Amino acid sequence: MAPEISTPAILLRRTDYGDYDLILTCLTLSQGKISLMAKYAKKSRKRFAGALELFTELNLVWNRPRGRAMPVLREASIANPFGGIRADVLKTAYASYWTEMVTLWLESGTPQKAVFGLLRYALDALDRDAMAAEVLSLVFQVRFLKLAGFLPDFRHCSRCRRPVEATQSGRFDFEVGSASLVCPACRPSLEGGHHTLAKGSLMQLLWVAETDLAHVSRMRFGPRQVGETTVLLETFIPYHLGRVPRSLKFLRQVRPGDRGEH
């Protein structure tokens, strides 16, 4: 008999497969992102005791497949339902955006324990209202980009190489395509079409990227700083993914203050 694998996992995506089955995309603690076949799960919710809801933290058991076949789920039990997320449209939109980033960005089958920890942290805090959702989304995006190796150098001006904390106050430019930051002193040489960020917003972004996650919830975030950093991240991420995630379009439709365009 094939060896059994048992691991915590977060359900990222469910896709119908024929009339009876579901294909699940999960971020697992020990195996990274994987796809699993859940036989009869579409036909009968009872098959896995209603455990296969999006964003749920589960304990999964499956057999290591022969060759390249998709593994077949044997057991699923709920570790944390995060039910407060699915009961709220805005929370669902945020959780969908984060899980779609993970789905689109991570390669399958490579363990990503830090990403698992980050996603679990964000879903748990969203579920419990531990932090404002827009702040949590900023934290998730910055930390995820860092773990994925795509966080731009927000610490130095790309022209004069001066560290942000050593520059004069004022607005920095950020050029999305080249992911380059330009300090206020070097700014006059730039053409238009850039995003700008206040020095305070940049310092907050750097702090979010580098501090221990356990301390993040104690920080005070200014609404204006969160707002302009959010606009930058939600422009940078689609640019580097090569498309606007569907979940981000949905988030923009349901988020108060958004105009539903972009």
Residues of the shown chain interacting with Zn ion in the complex, contacts defined by CB under 5 A: 157, 159-160, 183, 186
Residue with tokens 């499956």: 62
Q: In angstroms, what is the minimal distance from the CB of 197 to Zn ion? A: 14
Q: In angstroms, what is the minimal distance from the CB of 157 to Zn ion? A: 3
Q: For residue 38, what are its two tokens?
A: 């859940």
Write 234-237 long-range contacts (CB < 8 A, 24+): 234/141, 235/176, 235/195, 236/145, 236/152, 236/174, 236/176, 236/179, 237/101, 237/141, 237/145
Q: In angstroms, what is the minimal distance from the CB of 167 to Zn ion? A: 7
Cβ-based nearer residue to Zn ion, 44 or 189: 189
153: helix, coil or strand? coil
Cβ-based nearer residue to Zn ion, 28 or 167: 167
Paired sense of beta strands 4-17 and 57-63, if any? antiparallel
Cβ-based nearer residue to Zn ion, 131 or 183: 183
Q: In angstroms, what is the minimal distance from the CB of 158 to Zn ion? A: 8
Cβ-based nearer residue to Zn ion, 158 or 235: 158
Residue with tokens 């805005």: 90
